[in-house]
Amino acid sequence: MSAQLMSGTALARQIVERCALRAQALFEEHGVRPALATVLVGDDPASVTYVTMKRNRSAKAGIDSRLVRLPAETTTAELVAAVRALSDDPGVHGILLQHPVPAHIDERAAFEAIAPAKDVDGVTMHSFAAMAFGEPGFASCTPGGIIRLLDAHGVELSGRQAVVVGRSPILGKPMGMLLLARDATVTYCHSRTVDLASHLAAADIVVAAVGRPEFIKGHDLKPGAVVVDAGYNPGNVGDVDFAGAMERAALVTPVPGGVGPMTIAVLLEQTVDAAERVLFNL
């Protein structure tokens, strides 16, 4: 079997183009330009690359981007204060705190300093709870983008066995919640899971969110499975052995060009949503 590719590039482009039209209308009709503030602590090269990509795409979508760069020695209190200042700034509609922050910082405290109305990356406990309860709010961007990708490729979720490998607060956990909300039967696997192979062998849909290059092999997969590789490791390598998955699965996301562009597209879309909500009291 040779799987079909589930590319995110074209779909993400369409989403960004729609954002650009909405952002243009907000500016022309109301004089408001959606603004996304990005906070980057330290100079981790991968984070610098992600932030640069997000700022470039923002510019293409007509979204103002403001960068707050803080040194690696920044304390939790200093970071929380910087994020609160953005939460209080009426000129900022969305806030992105680039993950991960240096290990000495309490990342959760910093995320929680983001006002829920500006949590366009969907990282606060408020956003998670809203998503889990099916209430209005901002989705966690990567899981939100993955659902959009699955929908665009006509993947039926209801009643299917979905296995999410990884349970991080920004990726694995919210991913499972969104799949559950779509009536999939969801299993979370993680570093303490016993017999990961048996879970993968039964999975109709696999989401890999581990952060280990080619951790999931083609022979681990159920024939005909749908495979979403959210991993991104140095050298453009995902968490799934791409060639092996293409042999065995029905649909596979490429790395790069799969989940990554969707994450940014959802971030920009939610920034425009945030600006509209303020302007129109939604």
- Binding positions for NADP(+): 166-168
Nearer to ligand NAP, 26 or 162 (CB): 162
Q: Residues within the annotated binding site?
A: 166-168
If one asks whether residue 144 binds ligand NAP (CB under 6 A), the answer comes out as no
Specify whether the CB–CB gap between 111 and 79 falls below 8 A. Answer: no
- Catalytic residue chosen out of the listed positions 64, 118, 119, 121: 121
How far, in Å, CA of 10 to CA of 146, rounded? 14
If one asks whether residue 209 binds ligand NAP (CB under 6 A), the answer comes out as yes
Nearest to 209, CA basis, from 165, 256, 255: 165
If one asks whether residue 233 binds ligand NAP (CB under 6 A), the answer comes out as yes
Nearer to ligand NAP, 49 or 75 (CB): 49
Specify whether the CB–CB gap between 61 and 16 falls below 8 A. Answer: yes
- Catalytic residue chosen out of the listed positions 64, 98, 222, 239: 98
Closest residue to ligand NAP using C-beta atoms: 168
If one asks whether residue 76 binds ligand NAP (CB under 6 A), the answer comes out as no
Map the footprint of ligand NAP across residues 94-133, applying CB under 6 A.
none
How far, in Å, CA of 131 to CA of 24, rounded? 29
Least Cβ distance, residue 138 to ligand NAP (angstroms): 15
Q: Which residues are catalytic?
A: 54, 98, 121
Given the rule CB under 6 A, which residues bind ligand NAP?
A: 142, 165-168, 170-172, 189-193, 196, 209-211, 230-233, 239, 259-260, 263
